[in-house]
Amino acid sequence: MRLRKKPWIEEAMKEVQGEYVFLHDIDKFKGHWQEMFPGKRLCLEIGCGKGRFTIGMAELYPDKAFIGIETQHDIAYFPAKAAKDKELTNVKIICANAENLLDWFEPGEIKELYLNFSDPWPKARHAKRRLTHRNFLALYKQLLGEGGHLRFKTDNRALFDFSVEEFKEFGLQIIALSYDLHHSEYENPVQTEYEQKFSALGTPINFCEVVF
**Shortest reach from residue 121's CB to ligand SAM, in Å:** 9
Which has the closest alpha carbon to 95: 79, 82, 111, 107? 79
92 annotated among ligand-binding-site residues: no
Of 192, 198, 206, 207, which lies in the binding site for ligand SAM, with binding defined by CB under 6 A?
192
- Contact status: 48 vs ligand SAM (CB under 6 A): yes
Residue 64: strand pairing partners:
41
Of 116, 132, 156, 178, which lies in the binding site for ligand SAM, with binding defined by CB under 6 A?
116
**Shortest reach from residue 38's CB to ligand SAM, in Å:** 27
- Contact status: 148 vs ligand SAM (CB under 6 A): no
Binding mask 61-90 for ligand SAM (x = CB under 6 A): --------xxxx--x---------------
- Contact status: 119 vs ligand SAM (CB under 6 A): yes
Q: Is 77 exposed, middle or buried (0-12, 13-18, 19+ CB in 10 A)?
A: buried
* Total residues in contact with ligand SAM, by rule CB under 6 A: 21
**Helix boundaries (H) for the chain:** 8-16, 33-36, 52-60, 73-85, 134-144, 157-169, 193-200
**Shortest reach from residue 141's CB to ligand SAM, in Å:** 17
Q: Are 101 and 42 in contact (CB under 8 A)?
A: no
**Whole-angstrom Cα distance, residue 76 to residue 13?**
9
Q: Sign of dihedral through CA atoms 45, 50, 53, 57?
A: positive
Q: Are 54 and 132 in contact (CB under 8 A)?
A: no
77 annotated among ligand-binding-site residues: no
**Whole-angstrom Cα distance, residue 144 to residue 101?**
11
192 annotated among ligand-binding-site residues: yes
Stretch that binds ligand SAM, among 43-51, 80-88, 159-167, 180-188 (CB under 6 A): 43-51
123 annotated among ligand-binding-site residues: yes
Active-site residue flag, 161: no
Tell me which of 25, 85, 119, 161 is the catalytic residue: 119
Stretch that binds ligand SAM, among 20-28, 143-151, 189-197, 204-212 (CB under 6 A): 189-197
Q: Are 118 and 177 in contact (CB under 8 A)?
A: no
- Contact status: 163 vs ligand SAM (CB under 6 A): no
b/e burial code for range 57-73 (CB count within 10 A of at least 16 → b):
bbbebeebbbbbbbeeb
Report the interface residues with ligand SAM, using CB under 6 A.
1, 46-49, 69-72, 75, 97-99, 116-119, 192-195
